[in-house]
Amino acid sequence: MKEIILFIALALFMVAIFLILYRVIVGPSMPDRAMGLDTIGVNLVSAMAIVSIILSTTAFLEAILILGILSFIGTIAFSKYIERGDIIERKRDR
Amino acid sequence: MKVNNVILQFTAKIVFFIIFFFAVHIFFAGHYTPGGGFVGGLVTASAIVLLVIAFDLNTVHKLLPINYIYVVAIGLILALGTAAISMFVEQPFFTHFFDYFYLPLFGKTSLHTAALFDLGVYLVVVGVTMTIIQTIGDDE
């Protein structure tokens, strides 16, 4: 019973990721795509947690944290590129 | 153009320490759980990259006055030296040693020379990643 519920949750996460993928591909503006990629990262974190429950292991917990960190930094880099045009500056202009 | 990114900079100041201590945990837990020098080095480099994104290269260089090419060199020397320790005690190259010690704060601890080799890998990964990112980002 528990396994069935977990697999249904995984399938729902897959459906959500495909729906977000539509927004990433079609999305009319760049912020739409950045938001879509961030949401895909969050959904992947949740799906990885469910997979680690199904496999009944704690070996994925570090991978979950690392994926959260990398998704955060990637989203910040994307949004800085969209806002400023460059990601890494040499000197602050104020 | 004046841009006010106070929220990003304040968040980066706090999140940097969370990511850095998580990287230290991954590095020291690498012997018994997933992790190790490579992943720890990459996570440390991503923490510094977060600072570089939130501030700029000059500020981060003032904060961490490190020439990352020397970090690569120190890491390679450390790895090679750890591998060469065993040659002085009539053992084959790359033989590792470990023993149990009673440290004052940690209690019974197993210290292994593979941790020193892993520290070399950690320093090389941090140095190479930061050198690549600084060289690419510094395009003026």
Phi, psi of B100 (to 5 degrees): -100, 130
Contact yes or no for A73 and B50 at CB 8 A: yes
Tokens at residue B17, please?
A: 């320490």
DSSP element (H, E) containing B73: helix B68-85
Listed residue (B131, B127, B124, B128) closest to B37, CA to CA: B124
**Residue range B57-76: mean pLDDT, rounded:** 91
Question: What's the half-sphere exposure (Cβ side, CA atoms, 13 Å) at B56?
Answer: 11
- Among chain A, residues having any CB pair with chain B shorter than 8 Å are 59, 62-63, 65-66, 69-70, 72-73, 76-77, 80, 83-84, 87-94
Tokens at residue B132, please?
A: 């690549």
**Residue range B69-95: mean pLDDT, rounded:** 89
- Please say if the pLDDT value at position B1 is more than 60: no
Phi, psi of A37 (to 5 degrees): -65, -35
- Please say if the pLDDT value at position A94 is more than 60: no
Residue of A nearest to B133 (CA): A88
pLDDT-based confidence at B104, cuts 50/70/90? confident
Q: Is the pTM of this model over 0.95?
A: no
Residue A94 or B139, more confident: B139
Residue of A nearest to B16 (CA): A69
Tokens at residue A2, please?
A: 């528990």
The answer to whether residue A90 sits within a structural domain is: no
pLDDT digits (tens, 9 = 90+) for A4-14: 999 999 999 99
Residue of A nearest to B36 (CA): A62
pLDDT-based confidence at A43, cuts 50/70/90? very high
Tokens at residue B29, please?
A: 């837990």
**Residue A92 has what pLDDT?**
65
**Residue range A38-51: mean pLDDT, rounded:** 94
The answer to whether residue A89 sits within a structural domain is: no
Residue of A nearest to B40 (CA): A66
The answer to whether residue A72 sits within a structural domain is: yes
Q: How far is A57 from chain B (nearest CA, A)?
A: 12
- Please say if the pLDDT value at position B89 is more than 90: no
The answer to whether residue A91 sits within a structural domain is: no
- Please say if the pLDDT value at position B138 is more than 80: no
The answer to whether residue A67 sits within a structural domain is: yes
Q: What is the mean pLDDT of chain B?
A: 88
Kindly give, in sequence order, each residue whose CB lies less than 8 Å from that of residue B47, ignoring residues fewer than 6 positions away.
Answer: B16, B19, B20, B23
Q: How far is B73 from chain A (nearest CA, A)?
A: 25
- Please say if the pLDDT value at position B139 is more than 70: no
Residue B138 or A60, more confident: A60
pLDDT digits (tens, 9 = 90+) for B23-59: 999 999 888 888 888 999 999 999 999 999 998 888 8
User: Within 10 A of B35 (CB to CB), how many other CB atoms are there?
Assistant: 22
User: What is the interface pTM, i.e. ipTM, of the complex?
Assistant: 0.84
Least confidently predicted of B40-44, B52-56, B64-68, B135-139: B135-139
Domain extent for A80: 2-84
User: In angstroms, rounded to a whole number, what is the distance separating the alpha carbons of residues B63 and B114?
Assistant: 31
Q: How far is B53 from chain A (nearest CA, A)?
A: 6
Q: How many CB pairs under 8 A join A and B?
A: 57
**Residue range B87-110: mean pLDDT, rounded:** 83
Contact yes or no for B53 and A84 at CB 8 A: no
The answer to whether residue A38 sits within a structural domain is: yes
The answer to whether residue A93 sits within a structural domain is: no
The answer to whether residue A39 sits within a structural domain is: yes
Report the number of distinct structural domains present in chain A: 1
pLDDT-based confidence at B118, cuts 50/70/90? very high
